[in-house]
Amino acid sequence: MGTVTILYFAVARERAGLAREVLDVAEGARVKDVLGLLVARHPALLPLLPHLRVAVDQEFVPVEAPVPPGAELALIPPVAGGSGLFSVVDRPLRLEDVVAAVSGEAYGGLVTFSGSVRNQTRGRRVLRLEYEAYPPMAEKQLAVIGAEAAERFGGTRLAIMHRVGTLAPGELAVVIAAAAPHRKEAFLACEHAIERLKQDVPIWKKEFFEDGEVWVGLGP
């Protein structure tokens, strides 16, 4: 018998009613065994299981993976969606910060992306967004994206900053800068970064409307 720490985020945190707990698990337990224990404790998690990914000690793992004693196991709902700067912050973003992180005389092409909060989604007026993250793993995944960009796009340097907390329409949620010796690689790396961010980085957003709210990625 050993203990593991369970971390809940976004809709999983709401369904479980807490952000973290310590659980006793049998020696040799696997991820699927721990999920069974969690559903028994928090039945509202059951409908979410097909949508969740699981990270053990900040690495995505399959349900057959072992869970060692003392591990940190995080339930990762679908996400909203590294030389360089890779950070998750709770303050207003500045595009010049990511530009400065990748600029250099050897890099003739520099492409940026600024993602701001829209004031409407599918015809519904957005009052605000709330972003939540698993910061250590999010920053680690952003750095992985940076390494991918350098390998795939001729040594491109990438910097990504994402904001968490409550954001109003018009405020910046993410800023990205990609610098390369030539413009083509810089454009490709910037596009690659935003697409990969939406897939694998544990950052979630909840949209608040006049007539309701929804976690993005799970539908209405």
CATH, residue 63:
3.10.20.30
Same-domain status, 109 and 65? no
Last residue within a domain, chosen from 76, 96, 121: 76
- Provide the pLDDT for residue 83: 44
The number of residues making up the chain comes to 220
Q: Which residue has the tokens 């018009």?
A: 170
Domain count, the chain: 2
Same-domain status, 212 and 113? yes
Phi/psi at 74 (5° precision): -115, 135
Q: Which residue has the tokens 């007026």?
A: 125
- Provide the pLDDT for residue 16: 96
All residue ranges of the chain with pLDDT < 70 are 80-84, 218-220
The answer as to whether 153 is a domain residue is yes
Same-domain status, 90 and 66? no
pLDDT digits (tens, 9 = 90+) for 89-106: 999 999 999 998 898 888
Instruction: Using CA atoms of 95, 114, 155, 100 in order, give the dihedral in degrees to the nearest 10.
Output: 0
Enumerate residues 6+ apart whose C-beta is below 8 A from 193. 113, 145, 146, 149, 158, 160, 176, 178
- Provide the pLDDT for residue 80: 63
Phi/psi at 35 (5° precision): -60, -40
Same-domain status, 132 and 48? no
Whether 109 and 188 have beta carbons less than 8 Å apart is answered as no
Last residue within a domain, chosen from 48, 76, 104: 76
CATH, residue 171:
3.90.1170.40
Same-domain status, 206 and 170? yes
Whether the model pTM is above 0.95:
no
Domain, as residue range, for 170: 86-216
The answer as to whether 81 is a domain residue is no
Amino acid occupying residue 50: P
